[in-house]
């Protein structure tokens, strides 16, 4: 099952050092323009080839984000089909993160 997470909830979890993996599935130029510092970069265009290099534990909490939440839903669906269990799509993506005043690393 894919769950949804608001940016405020993600920020709270990160501030509490909750054990989770944040995946940014945007493309290289978008990543270079700015990203959430704690995120790991796995572009959706090459997700199937790269995800296994970064995501080893299928029971770990994984939050996937993109620009607005559409591509990350596709990445979550892929991970669900690969047997991952604790999946969250970040609602509103990095746009909502930035609009909430949370830091974006250039």
Provide the percentage of residues in the chain whose pLDDT is more than 90: 98
pLDDT at 27: 98
Q: What is the CATH number of the domain that holds 25?
A: 3.40.250.10
For 15, counting Cβ atoms within 10 Å of its Cβ (0-12 exposed, 13-18 middle, 19+ buried), the class is: exposed
Terminal alpha carbon distance of the chain? 33
Q: Are 64 and 87 in contact (CB under 8 A)?
A: yes
Examine residue 106 and state whether it is found in any structural domain, yes or no.
Answer: no
Query: What would the pLDDT profile of 45-84 be if each residue is shown by its tens digit?
Result: 999 999 999 999 999 999 999 999 999 999 999 999 999 9
Examine residue 84 and state whether it is found in any structural domain, yes or no.
Answer: yes
- Average confidence (pLDDT) over 27-35: 98
The torsion region of residue 63 among left (phi > 0), alpha (psi -120 to 50) and beta comes to beta
Those residues with Cβ within 8 angstroms of residue 13's Cβ, 6 or more apart along the chain or in another chain = 20
Task: Clarify whether 76 is annotated catalytic.
Answer: no
Q: Is 48 helix (H, G, I), strand (E, B) or coil?
A: helix
Which residue in the list 25, 44, 66, 87 is annotated as catalytic?
66
Domain interval for residue 91: 2-99
Examine residue 55 and state whether it is found in any structural domain, yes or no.
Answer: yes
Mean pLDDT for the chain overall? 97
H or E segment to which residue 40 belongs: strand 40-41
Domain count of the fold of the chain: 1
Examine residue 7 and state whether it is found in any structural domain, yes or no.
Answer: yes
């Amino acid at each position: 099952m894919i769950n949804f997470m608001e940016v405020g909830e993600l920020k709270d979890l990160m501030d509490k050092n909750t054990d989770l993996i944040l995946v940014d599935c945007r493309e290289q130029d978008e990543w270079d323009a700015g990203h959430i510092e704690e995120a790991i970069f796995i572009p959706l265009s090459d997700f199937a080839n790269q995800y296994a290099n970064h995501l080893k534990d299928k029971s770990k909490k994984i939050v996937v984000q993109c620009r607005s939440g559409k591509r990350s839903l596709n990445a979550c669906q892929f991970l669900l089909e690969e047997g991952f269990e604790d999946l969250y799509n970040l609602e509103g993506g990095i746009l909502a993160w930035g609009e909430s005043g949370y830091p974006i690393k250039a």
